[in-house]
Amino acid sequence: MIINYSELAVKELINEVLQAYASQNPGTCKCERCKNDIMALALNNLPPKYVVTDIGRVYTKAVFDQVGGKAQVIAALTSAIQRVRQHPRH
Ligand SMILES: [Zn+2]
């Protein structure tokens, strides 16, 4: 199967990053629509990293190494959260 490491990394971190951001910024929406908008925006700002893999052969640690580190993904998510917060579509 084909997977995008960037997508895996974003899905892995979305809840953690959104939770942390919301605790600092009360009123941050965490509904499914906003979450999906945040993930889409973050992914548009991260380089895609497609690989072919067997099901069950994906490890989180390797995922972050492949996409340039956890910090880069957190930064993309944080700026996406800020944009969605200013222009929510829910
Ligand atoms: Zn929302």
**What do you get for the CA distance between the two ends of the chain, in Å?**
33
Which pLDDT score is estimated for 58? 62
All structural domains of the chain with their residue ranges? 2-86
3-state secondary structure the chain: CEEEHHHHHHHHHHHHHHHHHHHHCCCCCCCHHHHHHHHHHHHHCCCCCEEECCCCCCCHHHHHHHCCCHHHHHHHHHHHHHHHHHCCCC
Please give the C-alpha separations between residue 68 and each of 18, 26, 31, 45, 48, in angstroms, as whole numbers.
20, 30, 28, 13, 11
Distance 49 CA to ligand 1 centre (A): 28
Q: What local confidence, expressed as pLDDT, does residue 46 receive?
A: 95
Encoded tokens for 63: 């995922």
Which pLDDT value is given to residue 35?
Answer: 98
**Ligand 1: distance of its center to the CA of 84 in Å?**
8
Q: What's the farthest any 2 CA atoms get from each other in the chain?
A: 41
Cα 18 to ligand 1 centroid, rounded to whole Å = 12
Ligand 1 geometric centre to CA of 58 (Å): 30
Give the pLDDT of the chain (90 residues) as one tens digit per residue: 888 999 999 999 999 999 999 999 999 999 999 999 999 999 999 999 988 877 666 666 678 888 888 999 999 999 999 999 999 999
